[in-house]
């Protein structure tokens, strides 16, 4: 299940991105790493959306295979594996932020978030600050739970 035979449907960069990320789980894992600072299998498993273990394994392998994340044995606890974002993965933060912004306004439930999101859409500097903060948080060392 976890093998890697990615075939590109076309040369279009959007299509290429979707070939790697176009499903319901891959970007959620990246979200977990970026927004919730998760680094461990069991942490992803505990997320609200309820991913199954076999799907999680598969997605982690694919994301590693396409160079978005890297997996290493945890130096502090050799029983577990640390998943971290690569530069390629960190570069997905703007995508995540736009998806979040859109979702808050157009796919969400609460109106509080909506207003905050609308503000972010108009105030580009604010958005840039959010992206920068998230990026810095990801390029620094984990710092653990």
| Binding stretches for DNA (CB under 7 A) | 1-2, 23-25, 40-42, 45, 50-55, 57-58, 60, 71, 77-81
Asked if 3 is part of the footprint of a copy of itself (rule: CB under 8 A), the reply reads: no
HSE-up of residue 105 (Cα within 13 Å, Cβ side): 13
CB of 95 to DNA, least distance (A): 19
Q: How far apart are CA 91 and CA 73, in angstroms?
A: 24
Q: Which positions from 37 to 76 touch a copy of itself by CB under 8 A, shown as an x/- string?
A: ----------xxxx---------------xx---------
The item of a copy of itself, DNA, none sharing an interface with residue 141, based on CB under 5 to 8 Å by kind, is none
Counting DSSP H helices and E strands in the chain, the numbers are 8, 2
Instruction: Compare residues 18 and 45 and give the one whose CB is closer to a copy of itself.
Output: 18
3-state secondary structure of 80: coil
Longest dimension (CA), the chain: 46
Please give the C-alpha separations between residue 135 and each of 9, 49, 92, 119, 139, in angstroms, as whole numbers. Answer: 30, 24, 10, 21, 6
> Quick count: other Cβ atoms within 10 Å of Cβ 89?
22
CB of 50 to DNA, least distance (A): 6
The item of a copy of itself, DNA, none sharing an interface with residue 139, based on CB under 5 to 8 Å by kind, is none
Q: Which residues bind a copy of itself (CB under 8 A)?
A: 8-20, 22-25, 27-28, 31, 35, 47-50, 66-67, 88, 91-92, 94-96, 98-110, 113, 117, 124, 128
């Amino acid at each position: 299940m976890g093998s890697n035979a990615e075939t590109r449907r076309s040369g279009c960069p959007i299509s290429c991105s979707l070939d790697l990320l176009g499903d319901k789980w891959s970007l959620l894992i990246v979200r977990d790493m970026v927004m919730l600072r998760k680094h461990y299998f069991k942490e992803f498993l505990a997320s609200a959306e309820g991913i199954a273990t076999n799907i999680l394994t598969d997605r982690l392998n694919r994301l590693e295979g396409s160079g978005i994340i890297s997996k290493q044995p945890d130096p502090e606890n050799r029983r577990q594996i640390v998943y971290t974002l690569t530069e390629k993965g960190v570069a997905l933060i703007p995508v995540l932020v736009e998806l979040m912004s859109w979702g808050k306004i157009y796919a969400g439930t609460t109106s509080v978030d909506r207003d905050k999101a609308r503000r972010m859409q108009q105030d580009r500097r604010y958005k840039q600050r959010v992206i920068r903060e998230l990026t810095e948080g990801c390029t620094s060392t984990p710092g653990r739970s």
